[in-house]
Amino acid sequence: MEKITGDSPGETSTPSAELFTTNEATSLSHLIVFDPDMSETMLAVGYDDAAQRLAMSYKGEPWDDVILLPLLFLWRQAIELSMKATIRDLCRLRRTNGDSDDKLIPANVDKRLRSYQVGHRLGALLQELEEHLAAVGGPPVPLEVLETIEQLAKLDESGTGFRYANSLKVKEARVNIATLAETLRRAWLLVHVTIDAVTNGEGVPGGE
């Protein structure tokens, strides 16, 4: 787990679970469990589930406008994490198939996916995903997924546009939340099941 930067330059502190212990569940009625070993894949599932629940809270009232950016953030994050998890699985599959390219080594994959050049950038992630799919002879990314991810990237390439006020520099828009939710969830789902499509549902040995 990454350390948290302190108040002084160079100062770090170890993450504390005090917030969890202060709010410890004493019965099953309100229990929710933090799993420190949750995989990237399952975290993406969590973001998707949270986005679905938020979308379902829409009531057709003016106040609903405040949920648009959080909704976009949740599904963008779900798509990003699923792309990264799929890239890791495809790199593992290529190594299993005998490909010895250094860029497939887990440490190098981690470094690349955390780099500024790739990181939260959907365009760069999509390019790498397509590269690995071609290398293993997998199916191409569906056109509808390409279009949705490219549209997301054009709207928020760096991953900050949906997180902060006044960061999204586009004009006011009237959005159909039902079609938006359907489009984003379908894009996420098709990315999420990519490795199953490649391996006929068998997954990759040693994968998540």
Identify the weakest region by mean pLDDT among 1-5, 133-137, 186-190.
Answer: 1-5
Closest CA to 95 of 106, 108, 79, 111: 106
In this prediction the pTM is 0.89
pLDDT digits (tens, 9 = 90+) for 37-65: 999 999 999 999 999 999 999 999 999 99
Query: What pLDDT is recorded for position 207?
Result: 65
φ, ψ for residue 13 (rounded to 5)?
-135, 150
β-bridge partners, 12: 5
Mean pLDDT of 111-130: 92
d(CA 150, CA 60) in angstroms, rounded, equals 28
Q: What percent of the chain has pLDDT over 90?
A: 79
Segment 74-100, tens digit of pLDDT: 999 999 999 999 999 999 999 999 999
Rounded Cα distance, 9 and 184, in Å? 40
Interatomic CA distance for residues 4 and 12, integer angstroms: 6
- pLDDT of 5: 46
Question: What torsion, rounded to 10 degrees, do the Cα atoms 145, 67, 177, 43 define?
Answer: 30
Residues 8-23 have a mean pLDDT of: 79
Which pair of structure tokens corresponds to residue 37? 């070993």
Give the percent of the chain with pLDDT over 70: 93
Cα gap 25→116, rounded to integer Å: 39
| Whether residue 176 has pLDDT greater than 50 | yes
pLDDT-derived band at 6 (thresholds 50, 70, 90) equals very low
| pLDDT for res 117 | 83
